[in-house]
Amino acid sequence: MIKKMLIGVIAGFSMLATTAFAEITVVNPQKPGGGTTVWTEIIMKELEKHLGERIVLRNIPGARDIPGINKFHNELRFNENTIVVTHGGNGVSFLQEKVDYNYAEYDSIGLMNLNIIMGKVKGADMDKPKFAGTSGAVPEAFAIAMMICGPDKSIDYYIDCFKENVTWVMGMSGGERRLAFKRGDLTGSRENPATYQIHIAPDENAELWFHHGLLDPATGGHVDDPNFPGAQFEIQFEERYGVAPSGEFYDAYKLVKSFRDGLQKAIWVNKGNPELRDRLIDAMNKMVNDPESMAIIEAKNGKYEWFIGERGNQMRDTLMTFITEDALRNLVKFNKEALGLKSILKEDLFPQNR
């Protein structure tokens, strides 16, 4: 133990120096302790075993986890041995905030396609839900609006209907949100699959509401999550209204949920670095085929499919097809008028301008 501690202390003092000489550096846009940091630490530890090289985490935190990825894009991606990890929030920011990074300029090493699960208080009136809003919960707001207000309405109708029926409570941290849900102050809550099992599944007063489903990059459609069968938003919607969700508002929902959940956790390398890319993809394939590594990863993150190398690129390319001028306009309009967020319309993302 003492030996371990001493090694730790020495490693701490030499951290800056070792970063410079590390085999591979992974840029992480969060500070230590953040969700993506913890995820990256788990993955990199397992990946190292199959890569046979040391991987050093470099945290570059900042507002909404954007500066770290911007720095990778503008500067660090040109380093021979530097890669980056991104999360779903970065995907949403890419759509509605001024950022420098652009997924199209990177190759995918691997990504995990996650899902967000919604819980509700048993017996609560979910046509008048009380829900903790954050900038990361935009897809939930879209889904709730459609679930309450019905199929194929105009964007203005959805905005008015949402404002009239949904208590969208801003400024709650994850901990506050969970406590408020437990107290019944909130009637709905959202979790990733792993935290759903911890916070909602054991709660005898709570039950599954719906989930967003998993994006199939080959078809561009969302499919049911085998971990929560029958509860996908599209399935629930069709059961309630007799028709599948569609229309311009649904397109905006599909856009924002896919960029968040489809890129929930992703590892990228700059294009034009095939040697590093292939080395990492090879190690990643070995990792996902190693039951021991996957048991460790799944214990923390739940059991979800990995999209490695070309399949990751396919996911990214599929997501880009969801970006249309109307979908972006509706996304920004709903964010601003229904949720009060300061989103910007990024005209450079319109298909005709890309």
Partner 1 sequence: MLESYFIVLMLGIIYGFFVGLIPVAGATTGLIAIYSFVTFFQDPYMLVVFTTAIVVTSSIGDSFCGVVMNIPGAGGAAATMVDGFPMSRRGEAARALSAAISTSWVNGLIWGLAVFLFLPWYTQIVLYFGTVEMFTFLIFAMTCVIFVSSKYWFRGLIALILGVLVGRIGEDPVTAADRWTFGWDYLGAGVQIIPVMAGLLAFPELLSAYRMKAQNIKLTNGIIWGQLIEGVKDTWRWKWDGLRGGLIGGFVGLVPGIGGNIADWFAYSQTVAVSKKSPDSDEVPVGKGHVRGVIGCEGANNAQKATSYVPTVLFGIPGAPFEVIVMGLLMYVGLELGTPAVLADERFFDVLLSSYLWALVIILPISYGFIKYAVYITSIPFKYYFWPILASLVWSSTQYTGLLDDYIMLAICMGLGLAMKYFKFSRVSFLIGFILSYRLETTYVQFNTFGYGWEEILFRPAPAAFITLTVIAAIWGLFFNKAKIDFV
> Where along the sequence are the contacts to partner 1 (CB under 8 A)?
1-2, 5, 8-9, 11-12, 16, 31-33, 38, 60-64, 66-67, 130, 134-135, 167-176, 178-180, 182-183, 185, 198-199, 340-342
C-beta closer to partner 1: residue 67 or 151: 67
Q: In terms of CB distance, is 232 or 301 closer to partner 1? A: 301
Choice between 177 and 257, CB closer to partner 1: 177
φ, ψ at 2 (rounded to 5°): -60, -40
| Cα–Cα distance list, 109 to 22, 23, 263, 311 (Å) | 19, 17, 12, 9
Task: Give the nearer residue to partner 1 in terms of CB position, either 59 or 324.
Answer: 59
Backbone angles phi, psi at 232, to 5 degrees: -65, 145
**d(C-alpha 136, C-alpha 134), whole Å:** 5
Q: Which is nearer to partner 1, 232 or 343 (CB)?
A: 343
- Nearest distance from residue 221's CB to partner 1, in Å? 30
Rounded least distance, CB 69 to partner 1, Å? 12
DSSP character at residue 342: -
C-alpha to C-alpha distance for 73 and 141, rounded to whole angstroms: 30
Please state, in angstroms and rounded to a whole number, the distance separating the CA atoms of residues 143 and 129: 12
**In the complex, least distance from residue 29 CB atom to partner 1, rounded to whole angstroms:** 10
- Residue 113 or 343: which CB sits closer to partner 1? 343
Which residue carries 């017996």 as its tokens?
123
Distance, CA of 100 to CA of 67 (rounded, Å): 9
- Cα angle 253-259-260, degrees, rounded to a multiple of 5: 90
Total number of residues shown for the chain = 354
CA–CA distances in Å: residue 155 to residues 151, 297, 328, 345: 11, 40, 12, 16
State which residue, 99 or 235, has the beta carbon closest to partner 1: 99
Crossing angle (nearest 10°) for helices 88-96 and 325-334: 100
CB of 36 to partner 1, least distance (A): 13
* Closest distance of CB 67 from partner 1, Å: 6
Q: Residue 174 or residue 247: which is nearer to partner 1 going by CB?
A: 174
Report the amino acid identity of residue 337.
E
Closest separation between CB of residue 169 and partner 1, Å? Answer: 5
Q: Which residue has the tokens 């070792």?
A: 18
Nearer to partner 1, 113 or 134 (CB): 134
For the bound state, the minimum distance from the C-beta of residue 49 to partner 1, rounded and expressed in Å, comes to 16
In whole angstroms, the minimum distance from the beta carbon of 167 to partner 1 comes to 6
CB 82 within 8 A of CB 71: no
Which stretch of DSSP H or E encloses residue 267? Answer: strand 265-270
Nearest-10 Cα torsion for 46, 50, 53, 58? -30
Q: Minimum Å distance from CB 35 to partner 1?
A: 10
Q: Which residue has 């941290």 as its token pair?
A: 173
DSSP category for residue 232: B
